[in-house]
Amino acid sequence: MKKQHIAFAIGGGVLIVIFLTLTNIFVLRHPDLTWTLYPAYAMILWPVSVFFTRKGRYKVFSYLVSFILVLYLVIENTRTTPHYPWALYAVFPIIGWSVFTVLGRWARTYAASWIGSAVAILYYVGLNLFLEPGHPWAVYPAFVFLWWPLSMYYAKTKRHLEFSIIASIYISAFFITVNTITTPHEIWAVYPIFAITWWPLSMYFYYYKKNLE
């Protein structure tokens, strides 16, 4: 049964690529066939995913898919815009997937979340400085990556009210920072901050009512 699933994935992928190629040639009459590389790439991942997941070889699956993804992005970057290395933005999290797969159980620890988020922030700050120094866009991925250790800590301690307060302060600080960087002449950060304050407020009254009962 497993072999049939793999054979179906391979056969279905090949048929889809052939169909799209023929449609491009005879129906759309477009001489450029390079766009068929995008669905072809997805069709390659289909049988690969079926093969390794059904055998339970998830680590090998993550390594192989990461390699295919990175190779695909580098080829596309070189082919379309060789003057700008945009693939570097996506390569880091893809490689990070394989790295944390190697780490196993340690990847789910609080220390790993801090180390991983710190490395990721430093990486994107470096890209910001060398590729796009005109605007400090690194604050956006930094905001996302810092959620990792923050949420992991409070998920383990189960201090939900405290998490809502700390997270609200953190989100508010992020919007204030973005407001100051992008449009300092217009104070718009008050709108999302007002909405965020309802989170800890509702959590407080929930626990207050729960304690009364």
Per-residue pLDDT reduced to its tens digit, 165-209: 999 999 999 999 999 999 999 999 999 999 999 999 888 877 666
CB 113 within 8 A of CB 152: yes
Place 29 in a pLDDT band, splitting at 50, 70 and 90.
low
- Amino acid at residue number 29: R
68's tokens: 């295919």
CB 97 within 8 A of CB 120: no
Most confident among 21-35, 98-112, 145-159 (mean pLDDT): 145-159
79's tokens: 């082919």
Element (H, E) at 166: helix 160-182
Mean pLDDT on 84-92: 92
Cα 28 from Cα 31, distance rounded (Å): 9
Predicted model pTM: 0.78
The region of weakest confidence among 63-72, 98-107, 126-135, 145-154 is 98-107
pLDDT for the residue 60:
83
Per-residue pLDDT reduced to its tens digit, 4-14: 777 777 777 77
